Structure 1
């Protein structure tokens, strides 16, 4: 778990903090998955599958931004959180449009 957090750019955390961050990420993902399920209607994959797809897209987006990020004048953690959220939602939308 520590390697995944380090890969996406989070600092080294104690075990309790890692558990708390993971719980927040999963609950936030479930909330976004439920909202996607409401918005997409019949094209959605269900709340849990939307959450899994969104978390995969968010981790991929955060990792790519950490790896190839363009320097900006804004706070890097805000940019990374925005990129992660947008990439997760974008992956769900793209999959909803392409899967029959």
Structure 2
């Protein structure tokens, strides 16, 4: 999913927008700051990442927390509802991996 040669728009199963599944995976191990999300999601612009995080927050999948105490910063974390998507994402990723060549072939044959 995070392979630089893997086109993220090839993913046939989407939750929310194009980046939502990858954001959920990035938050799987706990809260992360925006700048920490930018590292594995290097191909997404800051604007689009912000829009995706807001949509995930609106849908109840992610919570945004402002931390104070010294330096103020914002962290994003999966809610229990967001965490419940990890299992289905595992299944979807396994399916995509098993059918990767077919997906690539279909995409290439549809290109003008």
Name the larger-Rg structure: 2
Name the structure where strand makes up a greater proportion of residues: 2
Instruction: Specify which structure has the higher proportion of helix.
Output: 1
- TM-score normalised by L of structure 1: 0.30
TM-score, normalised with respect to structure 2: 0.27
